[in-house]
Structure 1
């Protein structure tokens, strides 16, 4: 379905980024609209998490433009950047809960940190967020008492604590059993729709992601090599996308690391 330009929430234009001499992103273009759940896929080390950090303002692009809600992150001062971040939610890989805080206090933390709401209202809001992820009955537990799936759901409740306009997920399915994975996937979809937000999900999980997202960007060697709806991605003729989607051992990403011919290795040939 076509999206109107006035609903664009995140836009990257010709974005480049390098860690020292190592260029990670080599001209990324992408657009994310309000209401969309978008997946960013690609092999390890291709720059997916770096993209989240650029959109969140933790990193600054070496070149190009990163815009969120019509504001160019590279032009914002510290106060402006922090104000924009308060409208974003983040679910870190493996949840990253505060281990010395209860479930309740983990979810309450952003409210206490960024608002002047009275504790009575914070209590009600926290219980509502926990109810949304099915864990109101676990509010007094400590993170060490939670399963992996429960921890991820608490982290999700914390990520939506301030009703963000943009939610970012860094490998939300990593390490989860099939039941927990399905629960988290459906929660991500439902919460995005309920909030009217936009969500960006960095993930390696092909089957679950293609069932819930609206659009996919495939990144390889610092560039977007394919993009489209889940159906378009499944039907893609791009060799890299086909290998990734079907988990093939050999293809553009080779099984063998380049080496001398096996016959020469077995013969013990030496150049010295």
Structure 2
């Protein structure tokens, strides 16, 4: 693995029972960069995040994080590695029965022996970084969707992770909140010196903040490149996805017989 890659995925295959989900995936995520994984629903993007985090084991191939093969780690080693990862779940997934402050403090209390006075300072720093220091006493049900996502981001960076993973971070956000979250992902990644992997369907916002993009289809990488390279591509699948075209390599019509013949048969029966 090149020394500037925090994560390397090599010839990765994964199946549920006999159903192949990932088929020979090869990717690299350089240190300090923001990388997007795009593709249609069900193509294996979220499964890939679970393999990076060690929740799943590959059928073959490997995921290497910071020089260590994830599926070869013992339980304690995997637990220690996860402490250096942050995860922003779709819709935020805040703990609903505790305050904004306690949501962000949760990991610090769970994984460190820091005194409460220092935890308070760190929590306020994280909330200030996402613009919500003044909301520390609110409960999750008092937050807008965009605010909740920003609190979840503050919680995800609580322990200054080396790797941040985002699962559809823009889902359900209004345009203003979407722009704020996008810029926070970029700025926080750069401030922490972290590496970020973002699974997303949001083309326009992602193209503004990421360094590199992998396109997946049917469990395979079908295209990759920088935003500028992909904007200029002639690849029909990427073009259809980038410009939200209804028909193309991914057809509008589900496979069916000839429509005119169907109508003639229906008329004959009538």
1:1-80 equivalences under 5 Å are 5-80=2-77
The answer to whether residue 158 in structure 2 is matched with residue 161 in structure 1 is: yes
Where 1:253 maps in the other structure, the secondary structure is coil
Q: Give me the whole-angstrom Cα distance separating, in 1, the residues matched to 2:107 and 2:4.
A: 27
5+ residue gaps, structure 2, are: none
Q: Give me the whole-angstrom Cα distance separating, in 1, the residues matched to 2:18 and 2:93.
A: 30
> Aligned match of 2:87 in 87, 90, 98?
90
Where 2:61 maps in the other structure, the secondary structure is strand
Q: Give me the whole-angstrom Cα distance separating, in 1, the residues matched to 2:43 and 2:2.
A: 28
How many residues align? The count is 267
Normalised TM-score (structure 1): 0.96
> Aligned match of 2:254 in 254, 257, 261?
257
Q: Give me the whole-angstrom Cα distance separating, in 2, the residues matched to 1:175 and 1:86.
A: 28
Q: Give me the whole-angstrom Cα distance separating, in 1, the residues matched to 2:224 and 2:102.
A: 39
1:130 aligned residue: 127
Q: Give me the whole-angstrom Cα distance separating, in 1, the residues matched to 2:98 and 2:63.
A: 35
Normalised TM-score (structure 2): 0.97
1:244 aligned residue: 241
2:218 aligned residue: 221
Deviation at 1:236, TM superposition (A): 1.2
5+ residue gaps, structure 1, are: none
Deviations 1:19-55 (A, max 9, x none): 1111010000000111000000000000000111110
The answer to whether residue 222 in structure 2 is matched with residue 200 in structure 1 is: no
